Amino acid sequence: MPLYNRFVLPEAQLDSLTVVLVSPRNPLNIGAAARAMANFGLRRLSVVAPFEPTWREARSAIGAPALLVNAMESETLAEAVANCTLVVGTGTLTRRKPEQPVVPLPDLAPRVSRELASGGRVAMVFGSEKHGLTREDLSYCHLLVEIPTDPLQPSMNLGQAVAVCLYELIRSAVSAPETQPATSAISITSAATSGRLDLLAGVIEETMQAAGYSPRAMQSANRHDLRLLLRRLSLSTQDNRRILGLFRRILWRLNRGHGGDRKSG
């Protein structure tokens, strides 16, 4: 029973968003990129100038997803993105002075959605594990997206970078629309009414007295604090019923143990 069955990009747009891996070397990374795509509902993968043995291995791995088996392959990035209207280069950009506009990843989604909504085709381009995207590669990009990593450890693993970027694109589609009311702890179940809280407070107070917890001088202050406490806890009806049951049992036992010297009946 997933929360997100309205999943996520309109069907027609799914095929307009391509992930492009440029010269990937490590079959595990290729597999991880493909897996992240499947997790976030994408299906068009394009691989540029892969290292052949690696690529064969990744593609023929047991359980390789269809999107890996069906991936497009091309010699050059130019070819891979030829039919795209928005090409987004990814990186962490600590060394190079960028020649294009740079968008922080958290601000990317609106730009991509707009492009897709207007019938465009978008490529998200990831460089090789070793060097990232070259200056030549970047020259095919309309804009660069920067993942906000720690300057002390800026370079991300390829599979993780793909996951984070795709999550960001999916994220806005998930978090913006329709409902999803402020997630409060109790919003699922019905909250206990004030009257029920008072009933509970009464039984707890009796228990306090029966257990000798609440000296006479403190009773009024304790009653006040207890009332506040019970409200602060946001008890559901069911919580309230359970706690009431427990305290009634305790009270009965305490009074029985003392031969009913505090309560008769």
Contact positions with a copy of itself (CB under 8 A) in 118-157: 143, 146-157
Taking CB under 8 A as the criterion, the residue among 20, 21, 22, 32 binding a copy of itself is 32
- Greatest alpha-carbon span in the chain: 92
* Least separation in angstroms between CB 109 and a copy of itself: 11
Instruction: Give 49 or 88: the residue with its C-beta nearer to a copy of itself.
Output: 88
Phi (first) and psi of residue 14, to 5 degrees: -60, -35
Instruction: Give the binding range for a copy of itself (CB under 8 A) out of 36-44, 52-60, 72-80, 114-122.
Output: 36-44
Q: Tell me which residues in 155-174 interact with a copy of itself (CB under 8 A).
A: 155-157, 159-160, 163-164, 167-168, 170-172, 174
Of the candidates 33, 41, 23, 40, the one whose C-alpha atom is nearest the C-alpha of residue 68 is 33
Find the binder of a copy of itself among 23, 35, 80, 140 (CB under 8 A). Answer: 35
Tell me, what DSSP letter sits at residue 17?
A: E
Q: Which is nearer to a copy of itself, 80 or 158 (CB)?
A: 158
The stretch among 38-46, 51-59, 119-127, 130-138 that binds a copy of itself (CB under 8 A) is: 38-46
Nearer to a copy of itself, 49 or 124 (CB): 124
Cβ-contact 122, 17 below 8 angstroms? yes
**Interface pick for a copy of itself out of 101, 119, 215, 260 (rule CB under 8 A):** 101
Is residue 107 a contact partner of residue 148, using CB atoms and an 8 Å limit? no
Angle at 118 between CA 115 and CA 120, to 5 degrees: 55
Following DSSP, what letter does each residue of 189-208 receive, concatenated? SPBPPHHHHHHHHHHHHHHH
Determine if 193 is a binding residue for a copy of itself (CB under 8 A).
Answer: no
CA-closest candidate to residue 163, choices 30, 12, 32: 32
Q: Are strands 86-91 and 143-146 parallel, antiparallel or unpaired?
A: parallel
> By C-beta, is 232 or 264 nearer to a copy of itself?
232
Radius of gyration of the chain (CA): 30
**How many residues sit close enough to a copy of itself to count as binding (CB under 8 A)?**
82
* 255, 263 Cβ separation under 8 angstroms: yes
Tell me the closest approach of the beta carbon of residue 153 to a copy of itself, in angstroms. 4
State the Cα–Cα distance between residues 255 and 237, nearest whole angstrom.
27
Q: Which is nearer to a copy of itself, 33 or 49 (CB)?
A: 33
263 lies in the site for a copy of itself, by CB under 8 A: no
219 binds a copy of itself (CB under 8 A): no
253 touches a copy of itself by CB under 8 A: yes
- Burial string for 103-114 (b: 16+ CB within 10 Å, else e) reads bebeebbebbbe
Query: Which residue from 10, 234, 260, 262 is in contact with a copy of itself, where contact means CB under 8 A?
Result: 234
Among 64, 123, 235, 244, binds a copy of itself (CB under 8 A): 235
Using CB under 8 A as the binding rule, whether residue 94 contacts a copy of itself is answered as: yes
